[in-house]
Amino acid sequence: MILLMNLSIIIIILANFIMFMSSILSKKMMWDREKCSPFECGFDPMCSARIPFSLHFFLITMIFLIFDVEIALIFPIIKLFKSVNFIVWSKISFFFIIMLLIGLYHEWNQKMLNWTN
């Protein structure tokens, strides 16, 4: 146990020393004008590099991501069909699908699935 603690302390000290030396020896300047500009080709941009961000598009992608992950969670339930008791499997599947439908109803009720207002 003591050997493990000594080894972990040595590794932490060595990692901190390497990070400290790399920050000292690096030649990167933090506030270089060309590096801070949106284009590093040497030309000044004619217009702003920031485009308007659609919050509604972001919300739609988050909803898609959530339902995509939930679909990925359904696959192991299908795989367990043969190895688990049917009543237990049906209760778990029913509960999971009901939770998905409640989430879908909530999104529909909040009118988040409509693309335009």
Residue 84 predicted with pLDDT over 70: yes
Is 96 exposed, middle or buried, given 0-12, 13-18 or 19+ CB atoms closer than 10 A? middle
Helix (H, G, I), strand (E, B) or coil at 111: coil
Which of 53-57, 60-64, 74-78 comes out lowest in average pLDDT? Answer: 53-57
Torsion (CA) 32, 34, 37, 39 in degrees, nearest 10 = -150
Tell me: pLDDT of 17 over 90. yes
pLDDT at 110 (0 to 100): 83
- Averaged pLDDT for residues 37-65: 69
Whether the model clears a pTM of 0.85, i.e. scores above it, the answer is no
Give the position of tokens 């506030």. Answer: 31
